[in-house]
Amino acid sequence: VTISPAVLTLPEGNKATFFCNISMENDSGSEYSLNWYKETNNRQPQKTAELSRHEPVTETEKYRLSNNTPVFKIEILNLHQNDSGSYYCGLIAFFEPSVSLMESCRSQLIVTAAPQMNATDEPEMEEGSPSEHIKAMLLGILMLAGVVVLLVFGYLIFMYRRGGACPGDGGYLQILNHHDGVTLQKEEKPPVVSISTVDYGVLEFQRDQCMPVPPKTWPVEQTEYATIIFPEEKPVTPER
């Protein structure tokens, strides 16, 4: 089992690709699987991925293995600095009644820090390629200005055809049609006579405060009654 490349150096965020080449003598349909190991600081190797003979591809969040027998392609995705270390392939072949294990040499992966973007180059890139929203804003302003110009032009044409008076500051602007052209004559407004007014304010009257007058008392009237007696009248006899 061989592995390539022997050393690979990449910055963070990239993808590392290794190839493992296997060679099996007297392959008569025996079963085998390829394991992918990581070793850091001479510690115990750690198995990170596995691909069997009948699997075309297997993928995890970090690794992708492709089976193109006799070559296996191993990809390490979205590199970080803690992905640095030694990697190797391990082939497990099942020969009845025994099992054999073959390992490749170690391949070194070095992950460096991501390159820093130059701060002075960023404004130049922005000036050279304005964003889409700025273009849309400029287009909207131009369209609005065009609408305003059309409205003013239409108003002037309407007043010209009407031949009426246009109000202006301090008078009226009158459009006159002549045989030799159109003239504009300004007619002054009549003077405004100001009328002065006097504000007398609010007159307030205070009510005289007088002492209350007690009601007048009248003496009680006494009524006297008299009885008049008339004499009885004698009957009058007629004379003969």
pTM: 0.47
Domain residue limits, the chain: 2-112
Q: What's the gap between Cα 157 and its chain centre?
A: 43
Domain 2-112, classified CATH 3.50.50.60, yes or no:
no
pLDDT at position 107, please? 92
pLDDT at position 168, please? 47
CB atoms within 10 A of CB 64: 18
In the chain, the amino acid numbered 28 is S
For β-strands 107-112 and 7-11, DSSP reports them as: parallel
Q: Provide the percentage of residues in the chain whose pLDDT is more than 70.
A: 58
Which of 4, 28, 2, 1 lies closest to 16 in space, CA to CA? Answer: 4
pLDDT tops 90 at residue 69:
no
Average pLDDT over residues 29-39: 84
Highest mean pLDDT among 84-93, 126-135, 216-225: 84-93
Average pLDDT over residues 90-105: 82
